């Protein structure tokens, strides 16, 4: 089975992701902005069974999501502080990896059939939406699991001011 490795800045934590991600979320929410220190987070999602730590043990920080009210577990290196992955009370059995921690952070593709852009309403005005990839003003689903309405753009486009949709 094909696997991809990654780890923290200091090397105390190392992991392997087995196979392709189930999907990739590009998240513009305030949590992801703060957690990454950037405009958004690229988060490939894996089954917990398809991810294994091969060196070290992360420290976990639990935070109740402002959106869903469910707990998110941020798993990070206690030595250097690098965030490695998220665990979700809302989605048990799955985890989201901080894509920048992969040794080759662009090994997986972003395609219309595997990716989505969420929380566009919280995005920086200068963020660029990817063409052909579903985008959602908030999350892609409500707490009860029902889907929300997506929109797409046909060419790269700045979020700009509200009213893009």
Q: What is the CATH number of the domain that holds 30?
A: 2.170.150.70
CA angle 160, 26, 131 (to 5 degrees): 60
Which residues contact residue 163 at a Cβ distance below 8 angstroms, ignoring those fewer than 6 apart?
none
Per residue in 113-155, pLDDT (tens digit) is 999 999 999 999 999 999 999 999 998 888 888 899 999 999 9
What pairing do the DSSP bridges indicate for beta strands 115-118 and 157-158? unpaired
Per residue in 3-26, pLDDT (tens digit) is 999 999 999 999 999 999 999 999
Domain of residue 58 covers 3-158
- Give 53-120 as a 3 state SS string: EEECCCEEEEEECCCCCCEEEEEECCCCCCEEEEEECCCCCEEEECHHHECCCCCCCCCCCCEEEECH
Per residue in 70-112, pLDDT (tens digit) is 899 999 999 999 999 999 998 999 999 999 999 999 999 999 9
pLDDT given at position 52: 97
| Residue 164 placed within a domain | no
């Amino acid at each position: 089975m094909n696997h991809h490795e990654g780890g923290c800045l200091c090397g105390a934590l190392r992991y392997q992701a087995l196979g392709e991600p189930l999907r990739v979320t590009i998240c513009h929410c305030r949590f992801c902005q703060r957690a990454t220190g950037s405009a958004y987070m690229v988060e490939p999602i894996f089954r917990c069974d398809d991810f294994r730590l091969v060196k070290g043990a992360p420290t976990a920080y639990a935070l109740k999501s402002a959106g869903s009210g469910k707990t998110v577990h941020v798993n990070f290196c206690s030595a250097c502080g690098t965030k490695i992955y998220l665990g979700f009370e809302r989605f048990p059995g799955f985890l989201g990896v901080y894509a920048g921690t992969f040794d080759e952070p662009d090994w997986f593709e972003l395609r219309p059939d595997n990716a989505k852009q969420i929380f566009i309403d919280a995005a920086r005005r200068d963020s660029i939406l990817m063409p052909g990839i579903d985008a959602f003003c908030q999350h892609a689903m409500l707490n009860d699991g029902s889907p929300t309405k997506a929109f797409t753009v046909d060419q790269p486009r700045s979020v700009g001011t509200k009213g893009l949709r």
